[in-house]
Structure 1
Amino acid sequence: MAVAANQDRRVRRTCRILHEALISLVLEKGYERITVQDILDRADVGRSTFYAHFRDKEALLVAGFDTMRDELRRDLDAMRPGVQPADPTSPAAAVFGHAYRNRRVYRAMCGKRGGNVVRRHLHGVIGGMLREHLRPHLAAAGSDLPVDVVAEFCTAAMLGLLVWWVDQDFPHGPAELASMYRRLAAPGVLAALGHGS
């Protein structure tokens, strides 16, 4: 049992070191210019160790997004009040709060150095979370708008604002940015729920 725990700890440590190396390199060179060898050199990890865990640099990137998705879900779940229905725009507060707490990572993912592959994966994380969050709201309201359309509208707006925020070096606090997003996006979401004209 202790051997398995030590192996798990080593695997987590190796994955963390590789992910940190990837983030540092994205900030320095941009995602597109990084090679697996660059990551190995920065992390001081052997090629066979890397390939025991990841097939390529995109698989390493995706693993980081899996961690991010889990953290965002926990943040969103913690924001939901027990008896009150959740605010359909509340994922913005979770995303912006997470981004602010992890500014270095988001500079690498959303900033100018991240590239299209990184943004595509981030879009997938945010879009999936929003679809999951909005589905019960739309169903309860009997909305005739498909959840995918409403989620895509909200995802594009949130991701656009997030990228702008990162590129401007976080000029507003996360709560303030979430409030601005809510003011801009809520009319569309409320209309989808049948509460607007």
Structure 2
Amino acid sequence: MAGEKWDRRQRRTRAAVFGAFSELLAEKPYDRITIQEIIDQANVGRSTFYMHFGTKDDLLRALCGGLFDHIIGSALDRTHTHGLYPDGGRPVSIFCHILAHLQENDGNILSLLSGESNDLFLKDFRNGIKKVIRERFFGEGEVEELSGVPGDFLVNHIAGSFIEMVRWWLENGMVQTPEELDGYFRAVMAPLLEAPPSPPPR
């Protein structure tokens, strides 16, 4: 029983810190947020914060890890919609599914995407998108080349293009729906993803 109470207390503490961090991200860039502001907002002690997170970057990694696991995981298995699609349908495109989640802005993830000095976040986000691309379009194992282009280069290029598209979407006020933006992206990427394999060397 004591262990359960301890676990619940720890979960509440982490939830409070995540919530405070997310609220601060909506107000200012990541680099301008201090640990003191986070613990004040979360109403926890400094020693309590450091029991869970060694640095502010560790907090960011933990927050992003949970968000990415949710977004990327649900995109891959397509089983969780969380009210994203009122008509009960699910989008055919995995990219549209991710965009719909981003539009919900869980944890103020869009603040990190649009902010400055967020290399750590962008690296983790890129790795998550690369995982989706590999598993969804290339299956398990090594990514083979297409039309003479190394598979790893292609995956990295598509992931980078997706991230830049999302940032363009944010900079322009998110006027387009996830479905519209997904259509743009697939129109540009289809020639790459549907390219025939390279002929064997002669």
TM-score normalised by L of structure 2: 0.77
Unaligned runs of 5+ residues in structure 2 are 80-91
- In structure 2, distance between residues paired with 1:45 and 1:14: 8
Match of 1:163 in 2: 167
Deviations 1:126-160 (A, max 9, x none): 22332333331896987464432121111111100
Deviations 1:57-92 (A, max 9, x none): 11111111211222121232117xxxxxxxxx9331
Residue identity in the other structure for 1:54: F
- In structure 1, distance between residues paired with 2:113 and 2:172: 11
Residue identity in the other structure for 1:98: H
Q: 1:174 to 1:114 in 2, by over 3 A?
A: farther
Q: What is the number of residues matched between the two proteins?
A: 184
Q: Is 1:40–1:50's contact at 8 Å kept on the other side of the alignment? A: yes
Match of 2:73 in 1: 73
Unaligned runs of 5+ residues in structure 1 are 80-88
Residue identity in the other structure for 1:24: E
Match of 1:119 in 2: 122
Structure number with higher helix proportion: 1
Q: Which range moves more in the overlay, 175-184 or 96-105?
A: 96-105
Q: 1:54 to 1:194 in 2, by over 3 A?
A: same
Q: Is 1:76–1:94's contact at 8 Å kept on the other side of the alignment? A: no
TM-score normalised by L of structure 1: 0.79
Specify the SS of the correspondent of 1:45. Answer: coil
- In structure 2, distance between residues paired with 1:155 and 1:119: 11
Residue identity in the other structure for 2:9: R
Match of 1:48 in 2: 47
- In structure 2, distance between residues paired with 1:47 and 1:133: 43
Q: Which range moves more in the overlay, 135-144 or 93-102?
A: 135-144
